[in-house]
Structure formats: C-alpha cells, structure tokens
Amino acid sequence: MSPTFRLKNYFKPCLQSIPETSTVLHCKSSKLLLENGLVSPTGNGLYSFLPMGFRAVEKICKIIDNELEAIGALKLELPALTSIDLWKKTGRYDANNNELFVLKDRKERKYVLGPTHEETITNLVASSAPHPVRSLPIMLYQITAKYRDEPRPRYGLIRGREFIMKDLYTFDKSIEDAKVTYEKVSEGYDKIFRRLGLQFLKVEGPTGNMGGTVSHEYHYPSPIGDDRLLLCRACNTGVNVELDRPSQCSSCNGRLTETHGIEIGSKEEAATSFVDDIEKRLSKSKEYNGDILIDDRTNLTIGKRFMEAKKTGYPFIVIVGKNALDQTPKFELENLVKQTNEQLTFDQLMTHLDA
C-alpha cells in the first residue's frame, strides 16, 4: 500500500513575504520555490531542497534514468573530489581556476571540487583498458551535486554555487561510431524534455576548453537567460552567439532572430469519511505510489488550501466539499494539466483517476 502524507505534519516551511528588492531573488521561479516551501536558502548561492522539492527532483531523475537506460547508458557515481594533477594534465585547471573550488588535505595535496567529471571518468575508463570492441560504445552517467565558485550567484537554483547535474560520457572506437552515439543520445535528451513538458531550443554551441568537433546546447527560452541565441523560425535551427553570429540560417538561409535562454457527524466528520475512502482506493494504486497528500490543515479555509495547492502545482486536486453531503455525493476534481474542473460521483472519480 502506498504511503499517504498529511500537510498538517508535513515539513513545508514557506516564506510568507519576499521583498521585491531582495538581492537573493531576481526571477519568478525562485520566488515560487521559496514561497511554496520547495527550497530554503542556506547561504549565498546555496539551497536546501525541502521534502516536496526533493521529491520533485527524484521524479525528474527517474525520467532521466528511464530514457538513458533505454539507449543503453549505465548509471554510476564518481567522487566529488578530483586530484588537481588530472585537471592540470588536461589544461582545464589553468582555463577555469577562477571558477573552481580547490581545497587541500592535511598533507597539502590539492583537490578540485568537481563542476564536471571529464578527467575522472576518462581516467577510470583508461585504467580498465583495453576494452573489447563488442563492449563499445561505453555510455556512463551520473546525477550528482556539482560545484562552481559563482562570482555572483543569482536567480535561485539557476546560478548557484552547488547544483544537481546529470553528466553523461560516451566512448567509441571511431569518429563515425561516435557520431551515431551522439545522435542516439540527442534523441534521448529530446524525449526527456518532452516527457517533462518543457519548451526547449537545441542550438549549436561552443565546444569549450575540452575541445571537440561539434556541440549542441539545450535551452529553455527565458528573458533572464545569460545566453544569447540566434534562431531560425523557418526550420527551428539555432546557434549560440558565443559560437558565431551568422547573418542567415546555415540550414535554409532563413532570417535569424535573437532571443535569450537558460542553460509541479458534523459536515467535517462526514467529509472525512469520504477522504478516507478515497485514500484507501488510491493508496492501492501503483500509479500514485507515495504521491497522495491530504491537506488536513483545518485551521485554513478550503479556498486558501486550494490556492496553495494550485501554486504548488499538483496535477490533480480533489475537493471534498458540501456537494459530498448530497444524497448522491459529488466530488470536485481539478485537473491542472488539462485545466478542467468536474463534479464527479465517487465511482466516476475513481475511474477518472485510475485511467
């Protein structure tokens, strides 16, 4: 049986009022995360994920796991600390030392607190070589905390000093095979963003100091994005201005437009019995494993609880109101995804939610 949580006992501290001039916040998403108790600031550019926010992260990670497993990628976890010698060997230490957190152990040996793990994963794969041709491509990924000495943390989780990132590394026997793997991974990424319901732009980008022959970036279009993008509306091709500033589209010669991008018995007693019935039915469903949350904060009005639920972004909200006391009880179902509102009998409600 799936666990059910009640908001009365749920740790969900919300900031009631956030000054518009606050230096911590500069975008709507950050404000919503704080006001709805999903994250809590613990320092400049540092945030704690609270239970509800962490649950959302876990669901995103599950979608990523599903799609990357589908293309044959394997999940692992690499250490956060990397020997500075590896970073110097690749030349990335000199190119990035202003953004790196570097620390020493008691023997004065230096380590980098990893923002990415190219050095570590390449060293790992090389140390276990040779690899049989039949074992290629090797596709390894992780979803872990990364660190960057951000000079001016802003926009909440978007530009922080610690952030959760999925990084995937692939190894092939030839350039031709690497291109095939690249396309397979690109398709996997497309599916991830589509499942998340996100609008996204895929544009050509710079390969960075790691080098390479081709790079594409996925951007969420937003006016607060640091990246300037040139997009062709005719064929949906795009390029990061950092890479190039062509006068027309390289694919169809169409006109390019610039945008920005970022790299959810009293009446009360009678109603309670219905809540218990709904809980028992839904808790048996694998579809709602651990996702049933009962707002039992009776000190708040139904309207107040409903508005909080909408702001938090629950896909389905069931309201057991006065219509539940009719001769034929009716329950209000708010579907935030489809933006519909229906009055349903108990059986209709269960059929709808089980679909």
> Over the stretch 265-323, which tens digit does the pLDDT of each residue have?
333 444 555 666 677 777 777 677 667 788 877 777 777 888 888 888 888 888 887 77
Instruction: Give start-end residues of each CATH 3.40.50.800 domain in the chain.
Output: 267-354
Note the pLDDT of residue 49: 94
Q: Calculate the CA 150 to chain-centre distance.
A: 20
Kindly state the average pLDDT of the residues 19-39. Answer: 73
Phi, psi for 211 (deg, rounded to 5) = 80, -170
| 109: region left, alpha or beta (phi > 0 left; psi from -120 to 50 alpha) | beta
Q: Which amino acid is at 337?
A: V
Q: Range with the lowest mean pLDDT among 46-55, 63-72, 190-199?
A: 190-199
For residue 211, is pLDDT > 60?
no
Task: List beta partners, residue 141.
Answer: 75, 168
Residue 306 contacts residue 292 (beta carbons within 8 Å):
no
In angstroms, what CA-CA distances link 207 with 34, 52, 182? 35, 36, 14
Q: Range with the lowest mean pLDDT among 37-51, 106-120, 196-210?
A: 196-210
Q: Which amino acid is at 68?
A: L
The answer, as to whether pTM is greater than 0.85, is no
Tell me which residue of 212, 50, 41, 193 sits closest to 118, measured CA to CA: 212
Residue 234 contacts residue 249 (beta carbons within 8 Å):
yes
* Helices assigned H by DSSP within the chain: 28-35, 51-70, 84-90, 92-96, 118-127, 175-195, 267-283, 302-312, 346-354
Note the pLDDT of residue 97: 75
Q: What is the mean pLDDT of the chain?
A: 80
Task: List beta partners, residue 239.
Answer: 204, 230
- Of 79-83, 199-203, 305-309, which one has max mean pLDDT? 79-83
Note the pLDDT of residue 22: 53
For residue 25, is pLDDT > 60?
no
187 vs 270, higher pLDDT: 187
How far is 163 from 154, CA to CA, in rounded Å?
13
Report residue 227 as tokens: 């990246």
Residues written for the chain: 355
- Of 42-51, 147-156, 198-207, 289-298, which one has max mean pLDDT? 42-51
pLDDT confidence of 96, banded at 50, 70, 90?
confident
12 vs 15, higher pLDDT: 12
How far is 317 from 333, CA to CA, in rounded Å?
6
Task: List beta partners, residue 5.
Answer: 293
What DSSP designation does 326 have? S
Tell me which residue of 164, 218, 212 sits closest to 188, measured CA to CA: 218
For the chain, percent of residues with pLDDT exceeding 90: 27
pLDDT confidence of 232, banded at 50, 70, 90?
low
How far is 270 from 267, CA to CA, in rounded Å?
5
Report residue 56 as tokens: 């959302």
Tell me which residue of 6, 7, 4, 3 sits closest to 36, measured CA to CA: 7
Instruction: Give start-end residues of each CATH 3.30.930.10 domain in the chain.
Output: 38-197
> Domain 267-354 belongs to what topology?
Rossmann fold (3.40.50)
**pLDDT tens, residue by residue, 115-144:** 999 999 999 998 888 888 888 899 999 999
Question: Can you state the percent helix, strand and coil of the chain, rounding each to 5?
Answer: 35, 25, 40
In angstroms, what CA-CA distances link 31 with 40, 50, 151? 11, 15, 21
Residue 161 contacts residue 182 (beta carbons within 8 Å):
no
Residue 256 contacts residue 230 (beta carbons within 8 Å):
yes
Burial (CB < 10 A; 0-12, 13-18, 19+), residue 280, is: exposed
Query: What dihedral angle (degrees, nearest 10) is formed by the CA atoms of 103, 104, 110, 116?
Result: -30
pLDDT confidence of 168, banded at 50, 70, 90?
very high
For residue 231, is pLDDT > 90?
no
Q: Which class in CATH covers the domain with range 38-197? A: alpha beta
Residue 238 half-sphere exposure toward CB, CA atoms < 13 A: 26
How far is 262 from 224, CA to CA, in rounded Å?
7
Note the pLDDT of residue 265: 33
pLDDT confidence of 33, banded at 50, 70, 90?
confident
